[in-house]
Amino acid sequence: MDRLDAMRLFVRLVECGSFSAVGREEGIGQPAVSKQIAALERHLGAQLVLRNSRNVVITDAGQAFYESAKQLIDDFDAVESSVGDRQQSPRGLVRVSTAPGHGRLCVTPLLAEFFRRYPQVSVEISVSERPVDLVAEGIDIAIRHGRLLDSSLTAQQWSETDFVLAASPAYLAAHGTPSNLSDLDRHTCIVFARGRERYPWRFHSGQQAVSYVPRGSLLTGDAEHVRAAVLCGLGVAQAPRWLLEDEIRSGQVSVLLPALQPERLPLNIVYAAGRRVPMRVRVLIDYLLAQ
CA distance 162 to 142: 20
Q: Are strands 190-194 and 197-198 parallel, antiparallel or unpaired?
A: antiparallel
Tell me which fold the domain 1-81 belongs to.
Arc Repressor Mutant, subunit A (1.10.10)
Question: For the chain (length 291 residues), average pLDDT per consecutive 10?
Answer: 81 82 78 86 88 78 87 76 60 90 90 94 88 80 80 81 92 94 92 83 80 89 92 94 93 91 85 78 92 86
**Tens-digit pLDDT profile for residues 66-107:** 888 888 887 777 676 666 445 557 888 999 999 888 888 889
Note the pLDDT of residue 7. 86
Equal CATH topology for 90-157+265-291 and 163-263 = yes
Task: Please say whether the structural domain 163-263 has been given the CATH code 3.40.50.620.
Answer: no
Rounded to whole angstroms, what are the CA distances from 96 to 4, 43, 133, 199, 200? 23, 32, 12, 26, 28
Tell me, what amino acid is at 218? L
pTM assigned to the model: 0.65
**Residue ranges per structural domain of the chain:** 1-81, 90-157+265-291, 163-263
Tell me which fold the domain 90-157+265-291 belongs to.
D-Maltodextrin-Binding Protein; domain 2 (3.40.190)
Note the pLDDT of residue 125. 92
Note the pLDDT of residue 286. 93
Note the pLDDT of residue 85. 46
CA distance 40 to 74: 19
